[in-house]
Amino acid sequence: MAQVIKSGAFLQQCWSVHPLCVTVRRMTDEHAVVLSCSACKSAHYLTIETIVSKASSAQQIAAKDVRRDEPAGEELLKACVSTHQTALSLREMDVFQDRVLLRCADCRRLYELVVSAFETRQK
């Protein structure tokens, strides 16, 4: 049986030791983002409270004159995970503020996630 640890400290430790091994795997229907680490064979589940999507500064300048309603951050992240999952990476995290920042290299968006629960499952 897999050990379950309910703390963001394990993800932070994992990411600080081998940042290139932590990848975004999927989003669940229960408002969770699943990250996995190929080095330590762990799955990190982040239960999400809110997702804010931010366009890159180049995209903001290009869209300055065009006023349009953007989809919610969760919808944009789901689309990003389904179309170019390998381009997503963990860029920043703060377990004291329960905040995680993901970046997509393909669409150049930043996703700021407010996490309500961290959970690590080790195999």
Q: What is the pLDDT of residues 75-84, one digit of tens each?
A: 999 999 999 9
Check residue 65 and give its pLDDT.
47
The DSSP line for 75-101 is: HHHHHHHHHHGGGEEEEEEETTTTEEE
How does pLDDT run across 16-44, given as a tens digit for each residue? 999 999 999 999 988 999 999 999 999 99
Counting every residue written for the chain, the total comes to 123
Q: Considering only CA atoms, which of 103, 111, 33, 104 is closest in space to residue 70?
A: 111
